[in-house]
Structure 1
């Protein structure tokens, strides 16, 4: 597939709201500081009588100008302040917008593990990296790619410093509302100082999410010397029900959620597939939304990063010798202890350990895209037929996606050394 891009144009906020920003710098919390990576997504709109692909790019560009008056930080640039913190300079530089044409019919761009998927998805998202300084890259870029059939794909690259998944989805839904000419159902709440570290930072809990684990299994060598492949595994409703029962304390009833069951499974299965030594500590990380867990809860519409990483650590021998319910029990406990006190402690930990990032040695990091409401965004021609990530996960990351053709199924995307694929597949087949 060949995609021909136009030259990017800069879109600026429209209306009087564009000049009401008074502060020179937009504050980023400690939970924003550790995620200065791009979040790339694609949103697929198939050809139909309601698609209006002939003017879709124009409508999306004009409504972007409107919504930027509410989400003004996207127009700025990341800077490092004298105290070493990241902030956004409100210089109103604008958001690059690109129109593109594909020379083929709109085909499936929903399986990120499919052959050549990485190349196809890369063509659908514009990355503004011309500057030698990564800090100068745009905080949001937009590309609308029209296919021969009339369908099109909206591709976004958003700096994670500005939004977690829930905030990114809220922005997209607000954007769609402006495109339809209706008031925003929820206005963004911008004051991130609510998540500022305490005046006397106090670490009250062990924060194993940042702990470095010794690589006694030579995992670095395995990943470095073995071909690396991506696979997607579909769990239909029946398989999910069996998995949830296996992960429950009482196998005769279902006592855990789909997320807990899938997360427990991938932690155990990946530990086995990587052939970790019995004494190897295996770490699990997953995001917990803190919006309603802090006291007081964050305001409705809070826009930013409100997630913290919950962590479980187990010797590989214990993880593999015990039933799946033991792993799910550890996950439930990690979720339960992620309360106001823990979240405040995590924020203070980052304040005192400014360069701290979660260590990923011998780690499985689970990210649940199925929980994000990107698909509910309706620009005027109905919801997207698919919304999801536009890049393959890092080697430590497992993605949980919603099934494309069956809303009751889940898809798990993982990357593994070739030597571990069969072992992982066998565990899936046993369900």
Structure 2
């Protein structure tokens, strides 16, 4: 399926990477990450991207963001440090002011040329977020890389990559908003950062009190982890009509379920059918749940560490595929409800007892809802982003495992959610058939129309 991403090609000219250090001296010390932060499943880089329109001024976004970054690092000085590993797989930040890696660039393309390409997968992403040699390691490397690319129209792109052990999406947005505030002239961030990673450390003695099947050690006995070759990347749009169609597919007593719950149940079931696993094999859905408000009292407002869990729904493949959508929906709702303060305490204890295991990726589908994270609200002085959010789907180097829910306004001006999906090409064809069947009008009274020709936004 052809798309604008396939045809949009442009050149990016980058200056040599530099290190941006805090604008004023900061403490030289070592700060421990929490026992939730340094689990093996977070040892990778999170890529994000923001697009901004020209505001008619002659201000240079590169200069403004570089200055805002240096000033924000006075408060968020651990981001200017380097991660070190202590015995027992424990990570600490060596706060040494070495700096954040920063690149200035120019591209011979306008924002309007992106058109429908303003959602993952982005064209020429590797040029907009250049992997500086030696910069992508977890240890002894910059924990944050930022590239600001000017466009021909006067707009610009801010692409970044963060070591996930340092922060989750909420923490990253908090920091980027601080950079924006400082770039606009503020003296201090509106929300002061709070380290206090000990709040999510294991208890003494540690004790696992909840069930955490998201960390089951599952062997890939049937080769179900997807190969990197022949992968199809597409984005799917879910507006009011699509969500009404899906809501009409569940029993009346479930129709008050949240958009996230219904959409996750739908995608998990369609994806599993498309991948055609052994009917008797277990399949999993992991969803990221922000736990900041699950504590009593809640975590401090400025806490910018990882404060989420991967609750899991587990069932046999044949049960998921043969039952109606309501079956998957109940599993999703139960998984979300599992996350409590005790669950998070038990999770931190599990990390210490079981040596920080990776979450299960075999026959797993992970979803992360970024619709309320606020990526698009980051303002460096040019207003809100035209697009702000994840730069691509997936988790680290694992293809096809994860999808993000991203707020999006399509070309018709309709607000909704765009979801990047990555699958082997044959599975993608089956996935689209299953999804199309669900999106067709389920009942005469459903407030929806057949949108099969418009819900697929893009492919690469």
- Aligned residues of 1:247 and 1:264 also touching (Cα < 8 A): no
| Structure 1 residues 391-406: aligned runs within 5 Å | 391-393=392-394, 394-405=399-410, 406=413
**Residue equivalent to 1:367:** 368
Q: CA, structure 1 residues 228+388, in 2 after alignment: closer, same or farther (shift >3 Å)?
A: same
Which runs of structure 2 are paired with 1:81-92 in the superposition (5 Å)? 81-92=86-97
Partner of 1:31: 36
Correspondences of 1:112-191 after superposition (within 5 Å): 112-113=120-121, 117=123, 120-130=124-134, 134-182=138-186, 183-191=188-196
Corresponding residue for 1:385?
386
Residue ranges of structure 1 left out of the alignment (5+ in a row): none
RMSD: 2.0
Give a deviation string over 1:137-196, Cα, whole Å, max 9, x none: 211112111111211111111111111001111111111111122342211111111111
For the residues of structure 2 that align with 1:128 and 1:373, how far apart are their CA atoms? 27
Cα offset for 1:127? 3.1
CA contact (8 A) 2:138 2:163 kept: no
Change (3 A) 1:428 1:84: closer
39, 42, 47: which one aligns with 2:54: 47
TM-score (norm 2): 0.86
Moved more, 400-409 or 254-263: 400-409
1:219 aligns with 2:227: no
CA contact (8 A) 2:202 2:349 kept: yes
User: Separation in 1 of the partners of 2:50 and 2:304?
Assistant: 21
1:243 match: 246
- Larger mean CA deviation between 99-108 and 330-339 belongs to 99-108
TM-score, with structure 1 as normaliser:
0.91
Give 1:217 deviation, angstroms.
4.8
What secondary structure does 2:310 align onto?
Answer: strand
Question: Equivalent residue for 2:419?
Answer: 412
Q: Helix, strand or coil for the counterpart of 1:422?
A: helix
The number of equivalent residue pairs is 417
Supply the distance in 1 between the matched residues of 2:177 and 2:284 (Cα, whole angstroms): 35
Correspondences of 1:307-346 after superposition (within 5 Å)? 307-346=308-347
Matched, 1:72 2:73: no
Q: 1:410 to 1:195 in 2, by over 3 A?
A: same
Q: Which residue of 2 aligns with 1:110?
A: 118
CA distance in 2, matches of 1:302, 1:224: 37
Corresponding residue for residue 377 of structure 2? 376
Kept in 2, the 8 Å contact 1:213–1:281? The answer is no
* Structure 2 alignment gaps of length 5 or more: 1-9, 440-460
Name segments (4+ residues, structure 1) moved above 6 Å.
Answer: none
Matched, 1:233 2:236: yes
Secondary structure of 1:283's match? strand
- Farther-moved stretch of structure 1 (104-113 vs 274-283): 104-113
Residue by residue over 1:249-307, the C-alpha shift from the partner in whole angstroms, topping out at 9 and shown as x without a partner, is 526xx311111111111110111000112101011111111111123321111111001
CA distance in structure 2 between the partners assigned to 1:99 and 1:281 by the alignment:
47
